[in-house]
A and B are shown apart, each in its own frame.
Chain A
Amino acid sequence: MSGAGRRIRLVMWKEFLQLRRDPLLIRLILLMPVLQLVLFGYVVAVDVKNLPTAIVDLDRTSVSRQVAASIGASDYFTIVAHPTTDAQIRPLMDRGEVAVAVVIEEGTAARLARGETAPLGIVVDGSDTSSATVGAGYATQIVARFNQQRIASSGLAGGLAQSPGLDARVRVLYNPTMASLNTMIPGLVAVILMISLMVVMSQAVVRERESGTLEQMFVTPIRRTEYLIGKVTPYLLLALGQLTLVALVGLFWFKVPFHGSPVVALTGLGLFMLSAIGLGLFVSLVSRTRQQAQQAVLFLMMPFMILSGFIFPISSMPDPIKPITYAIPLRYALDVLRGVAVKGAGFEALATPLLALAGFGVLIFGAAVVATRRRLS
């Protein structure tokens, strides 16, 4: 019906006019992605590099020197001390002079020569958890690579290869340098989309209720659905602009690789938008004032950011918490975006998170529209 189209266009038109006249909101909308890019790109995602490291070489063989050299050769560790005993590590760490210590036990070379497992001690400063975990991870990787090279060069049989010098449990498949940026920026695209849809849209709806213009519109021929479409569309376009900005800066400034198909990424984002809009509508329904809407968004954002795996990996969460992450739509959006960008995954590989996003989208958006139609006014 042309009447519905005309009314939707009118609501959109006045929404854009109002947006244009709210200089603070426009600044926030433009600055938010920039600020987040800077924060996450330069502060949160900074890779642990040049960790001050102590090497305790108790073996003093050519093999042990090779291990030490390969650790020192990496960007992650800077060897600053060569203590001669274990006991000297503690004071070094107490003073914060080293963050990591690698202990090569006596007899390592002999054991390796016999094809046995040789223990390699990695001591990390647990008071700086991120450096500690990352440092330990890097060290394990370096040692694993060292083992591979040794086995390959010595041409040992496959049977012997099963007894490496160290049990390297941490394996980073797709992001061998563990550049956090490469996973952070794709995730940021989803997070920004969610924030701007939830915050800005719920604020706009609540403001309209506060000022009484909402009620005024509903005694005119404008239907609730027409109002909703007209109201949501401008913010959708805005969010699209924001995420394009983030994606471009991510690709060209931070040089984040994008291995997959944009179609898959956009499908995931589109489905995720349904959830974000739905949540924004719910927020605007339960809030009578803009302050309440703000608090409600904060209330939702905290568990979203923390439980989705955006900042902390889900795999390192305590077991009782892990099941809860399945109820967070952002989790699946991150799966899709990171999968596409980092691994180049397609529809088939990402079927589960995409279906989950579709399910959440239909559920949350549908419920929000039904509730809004009933409660608006």
Chain B
Amino acid sequence: MSVAVELNALTKRFGDFVAVDGISLSVPRGEVFGFLGPNGSGKTTTIRMLTGALAPDGGSAWVLGEDIATHADRVRPRIGYMSQKFSLFEDLTVSENLTFYAGVYALSDAEYADRSAYVMEMADLTGRDRELTGNLSTGLKQRLALGAATMHEPDLLFLDEPTSGVDPVARRRFWDLLYELAERGVTLFVTTHYMEEASNCSRLAFMYRGRVIADGTPRGIQAETGRRLGLATTPSMEDVFVSLVTEQRT
């Protein structure tokens, strides 16, 4: 199985602060990869390096077989990115936003018609294409952002805290959309601090203070932590996380 993301001792410093401290990871294609950790643990910084928005200070990052430090321009047309903050143009209408991103990725008219119809339906926005994006509800904005990020059918999609600030029902529906994408073969790289979302992933990595402190399948990590703690039952993801972090602190 080919590799979507390969990190080798990837490091990023901001002054004296080491935001990402030499992490190594390998994410196979087709995975729903969960990148977990508390706020400030270095998740967003890692994603920003993977999308080429930030240059690493050490180590290397290979995305879809290309070195992001030297060939970000070859990677960018093949990835999608949805940031923590809603980042479509709020003072543009829904369809203007889609037109903009379709144009940026050089979609043909036919592709645009096809893809935008899909996005509008998927985001529950059919008939609202002339509405200003800023007036949409948070849940709808999130779905539209996902749609805009996937207009060009990327092979790999980075999602940075995609469901923060969304109610549980909308969050559930959002994950259904992510599964749909995964079924079509899109690799998903999702950061979150919602532990219940971790079990939605096929693989996980726990990040804490710039380091990866555990990685593997959700079940694997749960079982191993249970064994280490001498528990009779499998601990919940929340318990796993708390115990991993406590181990690190001592």
Query: CB distance A14 to B96 under 8 Å?
Result: yes
Question: Which residues, 90 to 131 on B, are CB-close (under 8 Å) to A?
Answer: 90-92, 96, 100-101, 103-106
* A216→B76 contact, CB < 8 A: no
A227 to B95, CA, bound (A): 21
Could you name 8 residue pairs across A and B whose Cβ atoms are closer than 8 Å? A10-B104, A13-B100, A213-B89, A215-B53, A215-B83, A216-B81, A216-B83, A220-B101
A133 contacts the other chain (CB 8 A): no
A218 at interface (Cβ–Cβ under 8 A)?
A: yes
User: Given A21-B91, A216-B83, A221 and B73 touching (CB < 8 A)?
Assistant: yes
Contact A216 B103 (CB under 8 A): no
A residues adjacent to B (C-beta < 8 A): 3, 6-7, 10, 13-14, 17-18, 21-22, 211-213, 215-223, 377
Query: What CA separation (Å) do A13 and B100 show in the bound complex?
Result: 9
Is B81 a contact of A377 with CB atoms below 8 Å? no
Does the CB pair A221–B53 fall under 8 Å?
no
* In the assembled complex, B165 has its CB within 8 A of some CB on chain A: no
How far does the alpha carbon of A18 sit from the alpha carbon of B91 in the complex, in Å?
6
Instruction: For residue B111, give the distance in angstroms from its CB to the closest CB of chain A.
Output: 15
> What is the predominant secondary structure among interface residues of chain B facing chain A?
loop
Asked, given contacts A10-B104, A213-B88, whether A377 binds B96 with beta carbons under 8 Å apart, the answer is no
A221–B73 Cα distance when bound, in Å, is 6
Query: Are A6 and B103 interface neighbours, CB within 8 A?
Result: yes
Q: How many angstroms between the C-alpha atoms of A7 and B73 in the bound complex?
A: 14
Which of B53, B89, B92, B132 sits near A219, CB closer than 8 Å? Answer: B53
A3, A7, A18, A220 — most chain B CB neighbours (10 Å): A220
Tell me, in angstroms, the Cα distance from A216 to B52 when the chains sit together. 11
Interface size of B by Cβ–Cβ distance < 8 Å? 29
User: Given A3-B106, A219-B53, A219-B76 in contact, is the A18-B85 Cβ separation under 8 Å?
Assistant: no
- B77, A22: Cβ atoms closer than 8 Å: no
A14: contacting residue among B86, B87, B89, CB under 8 A: B89
CA distance A10 to B96 in the complex (A): 11
Q: Which of A10, A13, A221 lies in contact with B76, CB distance below 8 A?
A: A221
Docked-complex contact B53 and A377, CB < 8 angstroms: yes
* Cβ distance A308 to chain B, nearest Cβ, rounded Å: 35
Known: A18-B92, A211-B87, A215-B87. A222 touches B104 (CB 8 A): yes
Contact assessment for B91 and A22 in the assembled complex, using a CB-CB cutoff below 8 Å: yes
Would B88 and A223 count as touching, CB distance under 8 A? no
B107 to chain A, nearest CB (A): 11
Asked whether, in the complex, the Cβ of B104 is within 8 Å of the Cβ of A212, the reply is no
Instruction: Given contacts A10-B103, A212-B83, list 19 more A-B pairs with CB under 8 A.
Output: A3-B106, A7-B103, A10-B100, A14-B89, A18-B92, A21-B91, A211-B85, A215-B53, A217-B104, A218-B52, A218-B53, A219-B53, A220-B76, A221-B76, A221-B77, A221-B104, A222-B104, A377-B53, A377-B54
A226 to chain B, nearest CB (A): 10
Tell me which residues across on chain B come within 8 A of A7, comparing CB atoms: 103-104
Give complex CA distance A340, B106 in Å.
47
| Chain A residues with CB under 8 A of B222 | none
A222 to B73, CA, bound (A): 9
User: CB-CB < 8 A to A223: which residues of B?
Assistant: 73
Q: Is B79 an interface residue (CB 8 A)?
A: yes
| B142: interface (CB < 8 Å) | no
A377 nearest in chain B by CB position: B53
Give the docked Cα–Cα distance between A14 and B88 (Å).
Answer: 11
Q: Is B191 at the interface (CB under 8 A from chain A)?
A: no
A10: nearest chain-B partner, CB-CB: B103
Q: Mark B143-169, 1 if CB is under 8 A from A, else 0.
A: 000000000000000100000000000
Say whether, besides A216-B81, A219-B81, A6 and B96 are in contact (CB < 8 Å): no
| B225 CB-CB contact with A under 8 Å | no
How far apart are the CA atoms of A215 and B87 in the complex, in Å? 8
Within 8 A of A (CB), among B35-76: 48, 51-54, 73, 76
- The minimal Cβ–Cβ distance linking A332 to chain B, given in whole angstroms, is 38
Quote the shortest CB–CB distance from B50 to chain A (angstroms).
9
Q: Are A219 and B79 in contact (CB under 8 A)?
A: yes
Q: Which of A22, A212, A217 contacts B86 (CB 8 A)?
A: A212
Closest to A15 in B: B89
Task: Identify the closest chain A residue to B90 (Cβ).
Answer: A211
- CB B200 to nearest CB in A, in angstroms, measures 24
Complex: A7 Cα to B77 Cα, angstroms:
13
Bound-complex Cα distance A315 to B106 (A):
58
Cα-based distance from A172 to B104 in the complex (angstroms): 59
Q: Which residues of B contact A211 (CB under 8 A)?
A: 85, 87, 89-90
Nearest B residue (CB) for A226: B104
Smallest distance from the beta carbon of B100 to chain A beta carbons, Å?
Answer: 5
- 0 or 1 for each of B11-39: is its CB under 8 Å from A? (1 = yes): 00000000000000000000000000000
Q: How far is the CA of A223 from the CA of B96 in the complex (A)?
A: 20
**Nearest CB of chain A from residue B88's CB, rounded to whole Å:** 7
**Cα–Cα, bound, A7→B106 (Å):** 9
Q: Which residues from A are CB-within-8-Å of B52?
A: 218-219
- Identify which of B77, B79, B87, B92 contacts A212 (C-beta below 8 A): B87
